[in-house]
Amino acid sequence: MEKKPFVTKEQLEHIVQDFPTPFHLYDERGIRENARKVKQAFSWNPGFKEYFAVKATPNPFLLKILHEEGCGCDCSSMAELVLSEACGITGTEVMFSSNMTPEEEYRKAMEMGAIINLDDFTHIEFLEKTCGLPETICCRFNPGGVFRMSNGIMDNPGDSKYGFTREQLFEGMRILKEKGVKHFGLHAFLASNTVSNEYYPELAAILFRLGVELVKELGIDLTFINLSGGVGIPYHPEEEPNDILVIGEGVRRVYEEILTPAGLGHVALYTEMGRFMTGPYDGLVTRVLHQKHIYKEYIGCDACAADLMRPAMYGAYHHITVMGKENAPCDHMYDVAGSLCENNDKFAVDRMLPEIEIGDLLFIHDAGAHGYSMGYNYNGKPRHAEILFREDGSAKMIRRAETLKDLFATFDFCDILKGAEIPE
């Protein structure tokens, strides 16, 4: 599918008059429309709720927009809990899916009345000692081995640090019930960025069967099943996007096959999608500063891996549009690089693009999840602003750019930088 930015060159030229490049530009309309579609896809399940995975895009303005569309928050750290609470998202609208969890984070989550999703058998005792056990608790399952789907997608739960083994799950829920826990949830995350309508239905079938067994063997009250995240987006234009309505129907099919006949037709479904909720609805906007001709042709731009690390970290593909040259032939091969002293700081390698000139604006697609949030400050590069492109066509800053003062703030306990001249 052809990838088009959600703004035109003219709109973008307008925005850069108020906000200097580079910046992340989020598409409010896209985020809202997608969230509504997710809700619609699972509307057959009365208890359905999406808990947005905050780590994907931890911006309070975006959390509020998603909350207005009915989403809660999936948190896994103190910062994410605090951010959710500050947005008025608390209580059972918060899922706390943490791992290797520090005491104070459990305490905070319990104070907020969040649903605790236990990652490990030993955390039963840990949580009981720290805070006491809640009435409702979720346990994360790890089936081990290799997770293979009929269409070839696979991942390696056996190598992942998360969750309970099957035996631990039965034993753990038995103990939790004995200790007075009244309601149970079941969770698993088996594969990441799945561009396939079959992932959720296949995962659901595994969890539904397991849920039926747990109820039969332990007599627990299973109130929800949490399909977690992992629903992917087509970073590459040649990939076929997921259709969330088809996914919702696929999950309904296995629900009616497995849960309903077992007398579990009341079980609520939860999801914790991150990437699917915001990934496609943000472009990293950057201006071309340099062209360099050595053994290869380089384009130097004013963004760098500090703003979007996925290409540097995973060699991930992010599509690039040269604004205003959408219809020009892609007959030039470039490496598009940032300014870090790190050779993997490249947004694209050997990419065929239209002829680029200094001053061109580049729109780096699909930067809206695990984008800004994964950024870092290597080379002392401050991270840039986040801007919201609103439904009425206006632009609003939703996070200012970091300054050098922010970067040096952790030296505020000493005098060395007191008199230093620090540019804004």
- Where along the sequence are the contacts to ligand PLP (CB under 6 A)? 53, 55-56, 74, 76, 97, 189, 192, 228-231, 272-276, 369
Tell me how far, at minimum, the Cβ of 410 lies from ligand PLP, in Å.
27
Q: Which is nearer to ligand PLP, 21 or 194 (CB)?
A: 194
Tell me how far, at minimum, the Cβ of 386 lies from ligand PLP, in Å.
18
Tell me how far, at minimum, the Cβ of 232 lies from ligand PLP, in Å.
7
Question: Does residue 227 contact residue 251 with C-beta atoms inside 8 Å?
Answer: yes
Place of tokens 């999608």: 273
Residue nearest to ligand PLP (CB): 229
Q: Which is nearer to ligand PLP, 45 or 193 (CB)?
A: 193
Tell me how far, at minimum, the Cβ of 235 lies from ligand PLP, in Å.
13
- Return d(Cα 300, Cα 291) in angstroms, integer: 6
The Cα-based distances of 368 to 8, 68, 248, 289, 311 in angstroms read: 18, 19, 23, 24, 14
Q: What share of the chain is helix, strand, coil (3-state, %, to 5)?
A: 35, 25, 40
Q: Which is nearer to ligand PLP, 210 or 233 (CB)?
A: 233
Tell me how far, at minimum, the Cβ of 230 lies from ligand PLP, in Å.
5
Tell me how far, at minimum, the Cβ of 193 lies from ligand PLP, in Å.
6
| Exposure b/e, 311-341, CB count within 10 A at least 16 = b | bbeeebbbbbbbbebeeeeeeeebbbbbbbe
Q: Which is nearer to ligand PLP, 275 or 319 (CB)?
A: 275
Question: Hey, what are 283's tokens?
Answer: 């472009």
Q: Which is nearer to ligand PLP, 53 or 362 (CB)?
A: 53
Q: Which is nearer to ligand PLP, 272 or 307 (CB)?
A: 272
Q: Which is nearer to ligand PLP, 6 or 51 (CB)?
A: 51
Polymer length in residues for the chain: 424
Tell me how far, at minimum, the Cβ of 314 lies from ligand PLP, in Å.
13
- Return d(Cα 320, Cα 317) in angstroms, integer: 9
Could you tell me how far CA 367 lies from the centroid of its own chain?
11
SS3 assignment, position 151: coil
Pairing state between β 282-293 and 361-364: antiparallel
**Which amino acid appears at position 114 of this protein?**
A
